[in-house]
Amino acid sequence: MRALVQRVSEARVLVAGETVGAIGPGLLVLFCAEAGDGEAELAWMTKKIPALRIFEDGAGRMNLDLAASGGAVLAVSQFTLAADLTRGNRPGFSRAAAPDLAEDLYDRFCAGLRGSGFAVETGRFGAKMAVRLVNDGPTTLWLDTRETVRRP
């Protein structure tokens, strides 16, 4: 499972020109489920992302997590984060989870964040989306469970 996390002052996602999700300050999470992902990866991402201390405290230091900052989450499904670019110039997507599994994991990721008390807006799974954001910092982080979660 992969996620590109961006601290934003605002972000929105549009489908066919219509805003389907928008937040003010918080995190834009581009979320990608990969083949073989399951409970361990989902639990790690759901816990790790809101706990990231990447929001500024009163002294201007990155010291606050999402809850302390009062921020929200805009979660956008993005299978292209699973791209394999090792051969040629056209990306391969065989690492991406099948759409039914990917949608389930994405929905459960969003539900897990909501269940922890966070305001979560979303894109529309499988739709062609336009994402607009103001990256704050800029602060952008890459998370990959293959580097952190040990599978049994």
Distance between CA atoms of residues 140 and 113, nearest Å: 19
Class for the domain spanning 2-147: alpha beta
Catalytic residue among 78, 118, 122, 145: 78
Catalytic residue among 6, 31, 55, 79: 79
- Burial (0-12, 13-18, 19+ Cβ within 10 Å), 87: exposed
Let me know if 79 is a catalytic residue. Answer: yes
User: Where do the domains of the chain lie?
Assistant: 2-147
Structure confidence by residue, pLDDT tens digits, 64-111: 999 999 999 999 999 999 999 999 999 999 999 999 999 999 999 999
Residue 150: pLDDT band (50, 70, 90) is low
Query: What would the two tokens of residue 22 be?
Result: 């928008």
pTM: 0.94
Can you say how many angstroms the Cα of residue 128 is from the centroid of all Cα atoms in its chain?
17
Distance between CA atoms of residues 86 and 152, nearest Å: 27
* Residue 127 CA: distances (Å) to CA of 78, 79, 123: 10, 11, 8
Let me know if 78 is a catalytic residue. Answer: yes
**52-77 b/e with 16+ CB inside 10 Å = b?**
bebbeeeeeeeebebeebebbbbbbb
